[in-house]
Amino acid sequence: MAVVLPDALTRWRCGRCGNLTRFDVVRSSRLREFWHLDLGGEVSVDETEVVSETVESVTCRWCGADGAEIEIVARPEAGGPTDDPTASQA
């Protein structure tokens, strides 16, 4: 199941507990990097480019809900909810 990512006008909301701010996100990334090795063999990464990225899962940090229970809602400036019921737990 594809995870829908929030955009500039939306954000995630846990449909079970109402959390708006704390989520565990599992993602896979493919990167292209420019590595600079010094003469001693130590690596420093000078450039990183994300070739592809996939969000595999999103889980509510507070109640453990995942999948369809994590919904997309409008951000406050787009008419969405402003209160986070878990804010006092942070």
> pLDDT tens across 36-61, in order?
999 999 999 999 999 999 999 999 99
pLDDT at 76: 85
Within a domain: residue 65?
yes
Per-residue pLDDT for 87 more than 70? no
Task: Name the domain count of the chain.
Answer: 1
Q: Which one has a higher pLDDT value, 66 or 82?
A: 66
Instruction: Flag whether 48 is in a domain.
Output: yes
pTM: 0.71
Give the per-residue pLDDT at 47.
97
Residues in the chain: 90
Using CA atoms, how far apart are residues 15 and 30, in angstroms rounded to an integer?
A: 31
**Is 29 among the domain residues?**
yes
Whether residue 31 lies inside any domain: the answer is yes
The tally of CA atoms less than 13 A away on the side-chain side of residue 9 is 2
The whole domain housing 67 covers 10-78
Domain-located, residue 35: yes
Beta pairing partners, 5: none
Over residues 6-31, the pLDDT tens digits come to 999 999 999 999 999 999 999 999 99
- Integer Cα distance of 72 and 58 in angstroms: 12
The backbone torsions φ and ψ at residue 89, rounded to the nearest 5 degrees and listed phi first, read -85, -15
Asked if residue 85 belongs to a domain, the reply is: no
